[in-house]
């Protein structure tokens, strides 16, 4: 991502910190050298992002079109995750490494479906992954669609319910 693309007021997504808004430009002295950083506020706190080379794990928020597309993807029949928890965790970790909005949507759908399978429980790690993915997805959706978190949750829940219904029809 080119640094000239970002400016104060922009909403961005950090792979670990989630959705945040660039609030101001600050000079910080690190290692005896002053550099410029964006001050980014998230729902969980603040972090600083270098202005000269924005890392690949930071992107601008998605478009309304992309969110509507991903919600359609979530409504689809879920894909079965691997049964072996070690293999499943490796599979999920690999997907999360460079997770696009689409991959996050698929993981939310598939983890949610696994949770609702009769006789199957999610591991503690998978529960945490699902909770984190949902939170990041909902936060970004609320910013992009300009809706409250509760309305975003309702849209996601409706899409997930449609997906589960497709499993139940089998």
13-55 pLDDT per residue, tens: 988 888 999 999 998 888 888 889 999 999 889 999 988 888 8
Per-residue b or e along 59-69, where b marks 16 or more CB atoms closer than 10 Å to that residue's CB:
bebbeeeebee
Q: What local confidence, expressed as pLDDT, does residue 1 receive? A: 56
**18-30/11-14 β-pairing:** antiparallel
Instruction: Name the one residue in this structure whose structure tokens are 């999360």.
Output: 96
Other Cβ atoms less than 10 A from the Cβ of 121: the count is 10
Check whether 170 has a pLDDT greater than 90.
no
- What's the pTM value of the predicted model, to 2 decimals? 0.84
Q: How confident is the model at residue 119 (pLDDT cuts 50, 70, 90)?
A: confident
Name which of 48-57, 60-69, 138-147 the model is least confident about.
48-57
Domains of the chain as residue ranges with CATH: 3-60 (2.40.10.170), 64-168 (1.20.58.1290)
Q: Using a pLDDT cut of 90, give the percent of the chain over it.
A: 65
Distance of alpha carbon 72 from alpha carbon 149, whole angstroms: 19
Paired sense of beta strands 18-30 and 33-42, if any = antiparallel
Mean pLDDT, all residues of the chain: 90
The residue behind tokens 């997930």 is 160
* Closest C-alpha among 33, 36, 43, 46 to residue 6: 36
Burial class of residue 10 in the structure, from the number of CB atoms within 10 Å of its CB (0-12 exposed, 13-18 middle, 19+ buried): middle
């Amino acid at each position: 991502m080119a640094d000239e693309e970002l400016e104060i007021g922009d909403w961005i997504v950090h792979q670990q910190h989630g959705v945040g808004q660039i609030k101001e430009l600050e000079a910080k002295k690190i290692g005896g050298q002053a550099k410029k950083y964006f001050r980014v506020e998230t729902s969980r706190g603040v972090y600083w992002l270098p202005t000269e080379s924005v890392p690949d794990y930071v992107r601008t928020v998605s478009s309304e079109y992309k969110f509507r597309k991903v919600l359609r993807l979530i409504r689809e029949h879920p894909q079965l995750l691997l049964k072996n928890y070690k293999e499943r965790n490796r599979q999920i970790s690999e997907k999360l490494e460079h997770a696009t909005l689409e991959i996050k949507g698929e993981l939310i759908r598939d983890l949610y479906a696994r949770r609702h399978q009769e006789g199957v429980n999610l591991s503690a790690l998978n529960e945490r992954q699902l909770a984190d993915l949902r939170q990041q997805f909902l936060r970004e959706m609320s910013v992009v669609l300009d809706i409250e978190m509760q309305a975003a949750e309702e849209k996601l829940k409706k899409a997930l319910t449609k997906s589960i219904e497709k499993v139940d029809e089998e």
